[in-house]
Structure 1
Amino acid sequence: MAEDERTLDGEDTVLADAPEEGARPDDRIDDERMDEENTLKREFVRSVEDALEAGASGELYDLVEPLHPADVADLLELFEREDRHRLATEITDLMTSEVVAELNDYVREEMMEALPADAVAQIAEQLETDDAVQLIEDLDEDDQKAILAELDPEDRIAIQTALSYPEETAGRLMSREFVAVPEHITVGDLIDFLRDGRDLPEDFFEVFVVDQRLHPVGTCQLSWVLRTPRDVALGDVMKRDQTLIPAELDQEEVALMFQKYGLISAAVVDDDGRLVGQMTVDDIVHIISEEAGEDALLMSGAGEGDINEPIREAYSSRVRWLVANLGTALVASLIIAAFGAAIEQLVALAVLMPIVASIGGNAGTQTMAVTVRAIAMNQLTRSNTGRILMRELRVAALNGVTIAVLVGLATAVIFSPMLGAVIAAAMVVNVITAGLAGVLVPVAFDRLDQDPAVASSVFVTMITDSMGFFAFLGLAVASGIVG
């Protein structure tokens, strides 16, 4: 028998050749529309723009129709608001629920606000509950009520229940489509139930086994079901140890649980321990990506940092941290002003001050980034804070001595040996201070139940700049280089 043949129920079945690994369904479409980085080509986007401006509806539809829903969403996001609405109007029947689910949050909200409530309700009914919740959760309360009124009672109740949970929690994000069966049935009963196919989700990885109170008592992966004789009791083959996710658990904690325990899916339970939904690994991929980007942006004070964010919101989120940074920068300026006479006597001090501040700031940023990540990953807890602090101080000391030797020697050659010794000592002090601040500031925010990524950089920068200037100028005066 040929290698591409298999035997099934005594008959030879020829399987189709598998596509090459990494290949997309239509390489011709890729060549015309997608580049090697899997993004829409500029030439293709320009052709869509030209067809839109010319009012060539047929040509425009033919250009967009072959695209994957995710690529249609990307195309819409490339246009300005007015043109985006015109494009969506021209390709109305291509604006499927899959396209809407892939849209950027700001773009989706903007487009939903422009549509009548019944149109949004039709889209929401085609989506899974978690995607439907994302569709309407950021809309105004009046718009939400109007859309919910257009939904079927079953869908309306499911979405209202999801909206009752806090944002970014398992209850808000979970899928309410899952398979749950009682534990007293056999594997054969389960297979018959699954083959019947009524009211089953399109995709699922495991079956949840529940008791009479709908409390999860075990799970059974589909691979186990297929390999187990029909007469075996489900209770004998199911896995009783399972990871249960409270509905009000923060999404970041949910992602950590999936990562720690290597989960593909997990049951979500309410306060009474009843099964109310499930989280799957595809949801977690989005959460991990979202949280990682969010932390990086918060550390820079850039708010949500979305390129589709309205200008007014982007301005508001960024300017307040710049104002705060202005206030902290005044502290460093006051220290410099206190040593104004010394700087006037030796211009070299003014030349070297930025070096001290820059190295200290970078060292603090490095330590702060490591600390914020450790807190986010639950690697830094109350039980090991002291050990992590000592570790970072040792790293800071080694870095400080290394940089001090390099800067001190260069300064000694260019200016004077005494000034070289002063800047070397100041560098060691500032880098160690930066290491200390880089750990303690994020930890302090975390202990106060604040996001450690939000404002840590502002305060760490203030501490490193102020200490750098104070140590350098203070040692210069104390050493007698200046009066």
Structure 2
Amino acid sequence: MSQKPGPETLDHRTPDHKPDDDLRFISLKSLTEAEIAEARLQDDDLPPLNTPEDIEDFALQDDYALNPQYIALVIDSADRGDGMRLRELLDALHPADIADLMGFLSADYREQVIPWIPADLLAEVLPELDDGIREEVVENLRPDDLAEVLQELDSDDAAAVFEDMEADQQKAVLAAMTEADREAMVTSLSFEEETAGRLMQREVVAAPDFWDVGQAIDHMRAHAADLPELFFDVYVIDPGHRPIGALPVSLLMRTARDTPLSAVMEPVTEIQVDVDQEEVAYIFGKYHLISAPIVDAGGRLVGQITVDDIVNIIQEESREDILALGGVSESEGRDADLWEMVRARLPWLSLNLLTAFFASWLISLFEAEITKLVALAVLMPIVASIGGNSGTQALTVSVRALSSRELTTANAIRTVWREVRVALVNGVAIALLLGLVAGLWFHSLLLGLVIGLAVVITLTAAALAGTLVPLTLSRLGRDPAVASPIFVSAVTDCMGFFSFLALAAIILL
């Protein structure tokens, strides 16, 4: 790592710095001014923090979120230029908690804190950081420091950090690496993004099929330094380096030493290097895997994926689906740029505006009817609102079912029919209640009948749209979570307005 800055280089405050600026980052947690003031601790108010256990207990609340008072203590140590205290405060935390801390600090404070994280700990923190923050941290590290950090990581985590660098920085870091690490990095990056090849770690434990348990154990002990940091299975390979089975470490350790590996190995689920990471997560979930071997086009073992990587993928894919359903992008994190957020949301709002104009045009076709019966204008929003909620329910269920492979073309008709039946039952129940209220409110049983029928029609259309739209987009190779909400909303609004006004024109006027 680069030489650590001394106290004189840590204090970057300007002459007009105000004490209240120290905790401006806490607003990201939506704390009140009273809570921020309470977080400012005097030395006499601090509990004893003499051991890493004391610091960790103080730093984490019962829900494992960072204590605002701990964050205040980190800021105070940075402002006083107390680098050794910063190191004590950081060393006591899990890398994931340090990554969380970096998200709450402003960029200026991150620049002060990062140099006090040792290289081995920083190597574990970098993969945990949000992409935007990680890019910022990486930009402020020297190539030789980065090379040292990347060499501490498993190959999959190293590739994830490396690919976020600028091209010039990548060249400089590769030049600072050893030849073996450089070749491993280039090989990892040769695979397409979001595939098993990019996700896998190249470090793997394999043994030939003619070995026995004792030979495998002795080999691992003799080469302990070369073993992956985390592994669950020993893969049994044939002379062509193709996996033919796997032996869980737990089974290996309780099996007699003279037992051939081929006699106790279990079937293995191979995954090709070019399989999409979402497909990999599905395979892990379906077959309850803890790890899986990754093979190339020739079936040769080239790496492995472990369940800790799959947890991250599942979280990432779920987050993308949730954001897409809301019409926002993955980049809209807590440090997102204002204009990036605007550019991400504006196109969808513009498309929504077009569909809203179409709905308004439909309403204008019944201008004369609305003029004659003002009650229509009063009740229209109710029909559209109920239809919109029903469409959102059906859409959410459908997108989740598509992502988990529960909804396919094989069961599409059955799923659509189920949603329609649910909508019909709900529609009748809501129609009876709403029709009764509307009839009593406006003293017209026919008006109650009209709005009741409109609700049944709208909820049925919403169920069809909420199921068929994402299914159609999926069949066309599009992400159903991205565009579905706009189209489903357009269908429910237009059908709600049109059915209500058309029925009113036919029955009432």
| Same-fold status (TM-score > 0.5) | yes
Matched, 1:442 2:470: yes
* Alpha-carbon distance in 2 for matches of 1:247, 1:301: 32
Matched, 1:196 2:222: yes
**Quick one: which of 226, 231, 244 aligns to 1:217?**
244
**Quick one: which of 438, 449, 454 aligns to 1:411?**
438
Matched, 1:398 2:425: yes
* Alpha-carbon distance in 2 for matches of 1:106, 1:186: 48
* Alpha-carbon distance in 2 for matches of 1:158, 1:434: 52
| CA deviation string 1:1-26 (max 9, x = no partner) | xxxxxxxxxxxxxxxxxxxxxxxx96
Check whether the contact 2:469–2:484 (CA below 8 A) recurs between aligned residues: yes
| CA deviation string 1:266-297 (max 9, x = no partner) | 11111111111111111111111111111111
* Pairs within 5 Å for 1:125-274: 125-198=151-224, 199-239=226-266, 241-274=267-300
What are structure 1's unaligned runs of at least 5 residues?
Answer: 1-24
| CA deviation string 1:108-135 (max 9, x = no partner) | 0121122232222221111111111110
Check whether the contact 2:424–2:459 (CA below 8 A) recurs between aligned residues: yes
Check whether the contact 1:109–1:136 (CA below 8 A) recurs between aligned residues: no
* Alpha-carbon distance in 2 for matches of 1:432, 1:26: 60
- How much does 1:70 deviate? 2.0
Match of 1:66 in 2: 92
Match of 2:399 in 1: 372
Check whether the contact 1:88–1:95 (CA below 8 A) recurs between aligned residues: no
Count of aligned residue pairs for this structure pair: 456
- How much does 1:30 deviate? 4.1
Match of 1:307 in 2: 334
Check whether the contact 1:208–1:220 (CA below 8 A) recurs between aligned residues: yes
Match of 2:486 in 1: 458
Check whether the contact 2:119–2:149 (CA below 8 A) recurs between aligned residues: no
* Alpha-carbon distance in 1 for matches of 2:54, 2:118: 25
- How much does 1:97 deviate? 0.6
Match of 2:448 in 1: 420
* Alpha-carbon distance in 2 for matches of 1:143, 1:338: 61
Check whether the contact 2:154–2:228 (CA below 8 A) recurs between aligned residues: no
**Quick one: which of 35, 41, 66 aligns to 2:61?**
35
Match of 1:11 in 2: none
1:412 aligned partner, one-letter code: G
Match of 1:6 in 2: none
Which is worse superposed, 424-433 or 222-231?
Answer: 222-231
Check whether the contact 2:52–2:91 (CA below 8 A) recurs between aligned residues: no
- How much does 1:83 deviate? 2.1
| CA deviation string 1:16-52 (max 9, x = no partner) | xxxxxxxxx9653344222111111112212222332
Match of 1:75 in 2: 101
Match of 2:346 in 1: 319
| CA deviation string 1:171-210 (max 9, x = no partner) | 1111111101110112222122122134222321111011
1:66 aligned partner, one-letter code: A
Secondary structure at 2:65 match in 1:
coil
| CA deviation string 1:366-408 (max 9, x = no partner) | 0011111111011111111111111111111111111111111
Matched, 1:430 2:458: yes
- How much does 1:253 deviate? 1.1
* Alpha-carbon distance in 1 for matches of 2:212, 2:259: 6
Check whether the contact 2:59–2:67 (CA below 8 A) recurs between aligned residues: yes
**Quick one: which of 138, 141, 147 aligns to 1:121?**
147
| CA deviation string 1:322-355 (max 9, x = no partner) | 1111111111111111112221222211111111
1:189 aligned partner, one-letter code: Q
TM-score (normalised: structure 2): 0.86
* Alpha-carbon distance in 2 for matches of 1:181, 1:95: 32
Check whether the contact 2:455–2:496 (CA below 8 A) recurs between aligned residues: yes
2:500 aligned partner, one-letter code: F
Match of 2:367 in 1: 340
Which is worse superposed, 181-190 or 425-434?
Answer: 181-190
- How much does 1:228 deviate? 2.3
1:217 aligned partner, one-letter code: I
* Alpha-carbon distance in 2 for matches of 1:262, 1:63: 38
Distance 1:77 1:116, change over 3 A: same
Runs (4+) off by over 6 Å: none
What are structure 2's unaligned runs of at least 5 residues?
Answer: 1-50
Secondary structure at 1:96 match in 2:
helix
Check whether the contact 2:99–2:128 (CA below 8 A) recurs between aligned residues: yes
Which is worse superposed, 454-463 or 218-227?
Answer: 218-227
- How much does 1:307 deviate? 2.1
- How much does 1:90 deviate? 4.6
Match of 1:4 in 2: none
* Alpha-carbon distance in 2 for matches of 1:282, 1:31: 25
| CA deviation string 1:193-233 (max 9, x = no partner) | 12213422232111101112111111111222223222222
Which is worse superposed, 466-475 or 89-98?
Answer: 89-98
